[in-house]
Chain A
Amino acid sequence: MARRTFSIGGVHPHDSKISRACAIEVLPTPPVVYLSVAQHIGAPAVPVVKPGDKVKVGQVIAEPGGFVSAFIHSSVSGTVKSVGPRKDLAGNSQTHIEIAVEGDEWLEGIDTSDTLITDIPEDNKAILDKIRLGGIVGLGGATFPTHVKLSPPPGMKCERLIINGCECEPYLTSDFRTLLEKGEQVVIGAAILKQVLGGVPCTIAIEENKPEAIAHIREVIASLEKVSPKFAGIEVLSLKKRYPQGGEKQLIDAVMHRQVASGALPISVGAVVQNVATALAVYDAVQKGKPIIDNSVTVTGECFPHQANLLVRVGTPLRYILDYLGGIPEEAAKVISGGPMMGRAVANLDAATLKGTGALLLLTEAQTRRRPETNCIRCGKCADACPMGLEPFLLQKLSRLGDVEALEENAAQDCIECGCCLYSCPAGIPLLDIIRLGKGAALSAIRARNVKK
């Protein structure tokens, strides 16, 4: 059988998963954490604590600022030192809650034991509440509040739940380690999500470069199926290795052979996609009463002497993590939060991790160097690589010209910013950098038109 993957474009960067053998290790709690109120897409959360307040692990310290928003919980126990602006990892100012750590006292009702709970509660409304109150957001990168994704708009029906275990970005291994070490929890989390969505079939999609994870999850499903019929209808699908397979639209195309239309939501083709780490967070919230207070972070890079997958309390300063592993080596020139294709370059090492921080990648100047820009030779490699079927060479020209109408006509707004075009350009043209500007202009034009109607 031909191995499945998405139908248009994509690239094959070397997967460089050099931290794949490193088991998830618990990072000691830092002396101080800084919790941002903007850890999700949507409205920032509103702080409900003030300096001097004593907080416990798992206690709510900020409440949702709107429907599309999420709770923020204290990741440590201690005293709130300040609530105010602080620079995030890009160097932009954002409200943070600073907590000085004292001991490790957890809020009552949180089950901190390792006991696996396989009984899934029947009441879906109660489950959704727990997911919302647990501050669960999509941990695959977009940090979209999970409870919103689980409430399809009227008239739309979910037909399949896809658990995204592709981890198609090079270097990243935290989802892989989670699948290996917490496979049961992930599968139970998937079963909970499946039940909330009306018992739809569920596919756990994993790329073929993680055969251990594929085999392990298949075993886990087989043994859980014997425990309860609720675990029936969950399958593992091995996908061909190809970037950006973990992109939501690409993954739905690969698994269901359906393409989400431009501007539409995945639910319009009957799909709901949740990341592996999100499924684990759902298990923690629903079965153990534990909100998101920590997450797995891959810390890696060839220039870095210690590869690691760490369980990190949310709000841990980046410098603390890197110092724990021996500090930043001299050769490292760039620290990236996330993967090398879509991650963000860190401008401020004193910034703290967010719920969605999945990796810290250190690259040398040589690894990340860009070629000087030369003439486009019309080789078409960018168009071949674009997973949305766009023409990056054309879009960058239109962006430079500022031709918003033509940008919209040529679907600049469909760009998912995966970086395949810039990655593959032999002439060193900063395609995506320029297209981002054009995409922004096209999106504003569309929004302005929709408001007028």
Chain B
Amino acid sequence: MDKLIVSPSPHLHAKDSTRSLMLDVVIALIPAVICSVVFYGWRELLLLAVSVATCVLLEWAVTRFLLKKPSTIGDLSAVITGILLALNVPYTLPWWILVIGAVVAIGVAKLTFGGIGQNVFNPAIVGRVFLLVSYPSQMTHWEKPQGLFGVDAITGATPLSAVKEGSLGDISYADMLFANIGGSAGEVCAIALLVGFIYLLCRRVIKPWITLSIFATVALTSLIFWGINPERFTDPLFNLLTGGLILGACFMATDYVTSPMSVWGGVIFGIGIGFLTMMIRYFGSYPEGVSFAILIMNSVVPLLNRAFKQRKFGRK
């Protein structure tokens, strides 16, 4: 001891850092990543690698050479964006299209706004929606998963697009739960995604309110419509298990930066996402609406943060 450190209180700090929180999200995504590689094969692994590498490299290059600031890739948020983007596209997508998506996600949606913490919209969803609008045919070319070593790819519609076209065929709920359907990589194994979600809850990285209110709203809205006309409208369980709902509700709507901070703000945010998703699914021209719903609700987060505040101690 040569010199005493003198600084203001508190003198202790919690162990959580931005990096450790993001690492927890990466860990939570591992079951879904493994699941998608097992079901879709090496091609999916290639997409994941391309997406993560593009996101991380771009963030490093931009912060280092363009902004001339210390690189922020150590916080691992670019890794999460990369994984989420890859899980949000069909595994048949040409890799160079995914590179474009990653550039839009990190370059446009994140760094242009000032990097982590400053972006209004979830970067991975912006990247996905950009690709969906720019490369509609590649982004909606679904093949039924054939497994890690499968050879015969069978083109199959996703359950949601099948419904949009008029017939669901013979897909069972068990198929949906255990990844035996066509769709984006991350849409396919509900169980793996839920395992990751529960991990995040146990580690207290996120709170359940946003996710639960999305699920509840989707279930309730579809229950009402299905109750009125079961011929035309799909049932609640179908809507909960299909599309990107679980991935979106568990991992994208709960993004710290682009979701409200308070419990009630989060509940309203979730209700908005759930309701908009169902409106797009039932009445929109796209078969799936989770991405659009999250983006729309991202834009009202500042208002929700203002409207729903924690009650202050000793004040009415």
Contacts and interface: CB of A to CB of B under 8 A. Distances in A.
Given A345-B6, A347-B6, A378-B256, A253 B11 contact: no
A41 B114 CA distance: 45
B13 A423 contact: yes
Nearest to A90: B6
B12 A368 contact: yes
Interface stretch (A195-203, A286-294, A424-432, A441-449): A424-432
A334 B18 contact: no
B116 interface: yes
Nearest to A387: B313
Contacts of A367: 11-12
B62 to A, nearest CB: 15
Nearest to B74: A374
Contact of A334 (B4, B75, B114): B4
Interface stretch (B182-190, B232-240, B304-312): B304-312
Contact of A375 (B8, B116, B261, B312): B116
B301 to A, nearest CB: 9
A264 B315 CA distance: 11
A54 interface: no
Contacts of B313: 8, 249, 253, 259, 262, 387-389, 414
A22 B11 CA distance: 24
Interface string B289-316: 0000000000000000000011111110
B213 to A, nearest CB: 16
A381 B16 contact: yes
Contacts of B309: 391
Contacts of A381: 16
A204 interface: no
B308 to A, nearest CB: 11
Interface residues of B, number: 36
Interface string A318-351: 0000000000111111111000111111110100
Interface string B1-43: 1001111111111101110110000000000000000000000
Among A262, A377, A391, A424: residue with most chain B CB under 10 A: A377
B118 interface: yes
A210 B20 CA distance: 32
A342 B9 contact: yes
A225 interface: no
Among B20, B115, B315: residue with most chain A CB under 10 A: B315
Nearest to A333: B5
Main secondary structure of the interface of A (DSSP, over half): loop
A418 B9 CA distance: 8
Contacts of B20: 426
A13 interface: yes
B6 A170 contact: no
Given A262-B315, A383-B261, A340 B12 contact: yes
A12 to B, nearest CB: 9
B11 A363 contact: yes
Interface in B251-266: 256-257, 261-262
B230 interface: no
B209 to A, nearest CB: 12
Nearest to B258: A378
Contacts of B312: 262, 388-390, 411, 414
Contact of A371 (B12, B17, B116, B117): B17
Contacts of B77: 377
A206 to B, nearest CB: 22
A227 interface: no
A341 B9 contact: yes
A260 B262 CA distance: 23
Given A259-B314, A347-B6, A424 B14 contact: yes
A170 B115 CA distance: 36
Interface string B75-92: 101000000000000000
Contacts of A427: 17-18, 117
A249 B315 CA distance: 13
Contacts of B146: none
A252 B271 CA distance: 37
A427 B17 CA distance: 6
A345 B7 contact: yes
B180 interface: no
B81 to A, nearest CB: 13
B9 A329 contact: no
Nearest to A349: B4
B138 interface: no
B140 interface: no
A333 B5 CA distance: 6
Contacts of A342: 9-10
A342 B17 CA distance: 22
B314 A262 contact: yes
Interface string A369-380: 111001111111
B10 A341 contact: yes
Given A260-B314, A383-B261, A426-B21, A377 B116 contact: yes
Among B5, B7, B12, B261: residue with most chain A CB under 10 A: B12
Contact of B262 (A333, A363, A380, A419): A380
A11 interface: yes
A378 B305 CA distance: 11
Interface of A: 8, 11, 13, 90-91, 170, 249, 253, 259-262, 264, 328-336, 340-347, 349, 361, 363, 365, 367-371, 374-381, 383, 386-391, 411, 414, 417-420, 422-424, 426-428, 432-433, 436
20 contacts: A8-B311, A259-B314, A332-B1, A334-B5, A334-B7, A340-B9, A341-B9, A345-B6, A345-B9, A346-B6, A347-B6, A365-B5, A368-B5, A374-B72, A374-B116, A377-B257, A380-B256, A381-B16, A383-B310, A424-B14
10 closest A-B pairs (Cβ-Cβ)?
A419-B10, A380-B261, A375-B117, A389-B312, A259-B314, A379-B256, A345-B6, A388-B313, A334-B5, A340-B11
Given A333-B4, A432-B8, 12 more contacts: A8-B311, A8-B313, A341-B10, A345-B6, A370-B7, A377-B116, A378-B256, A414-B314, A419-B9, A420-B10, A424-B16, A426-B20
